[in-house]
Amino acid sequence: MRLHFADMSYPSVDALQRTLADSLFHYTTDKKKAAGRALGTLVEIITFYTLKSWGFRDSIVIERRLPEFANPDITHNVEYSLHPILSKTGHRLSGIDLPLTAAKLRRLRPRTVP
pLDDT at 21: 93
Which pLDDT score, from 0 to 100, does residue 53 have? Answer: 95
pLDDT, averaged per 10 consecutive residues of the chain (114 residues), comes to 62 89 92 92 88 91 80 81 85 81 80 62
* Predicted local confidence at residue 80, as pLDDT: 79
Cis peptide before 11 (omega within 30 of 0): no
∠ CA 43-45-50, rounded to 5° = 95
60-68 and 71-82 beta bridge pairing: antiparallel
Element holding 11 (H helix, E strand): none
**Concatenated DSSP letters of 58-102:** GGEEEEEEEEETTEEEEEEEEEEEE------------S-PSSP-H
pLDDT at residue 71, rounded to an integer: 81
pLDDT at 3: 56
Looking at residue 5, its pLDDT comes to 55
CB within 8 A of 87, min separation 6: which ones? none
- Please give the biggest Cα pair distance in the chain: 65
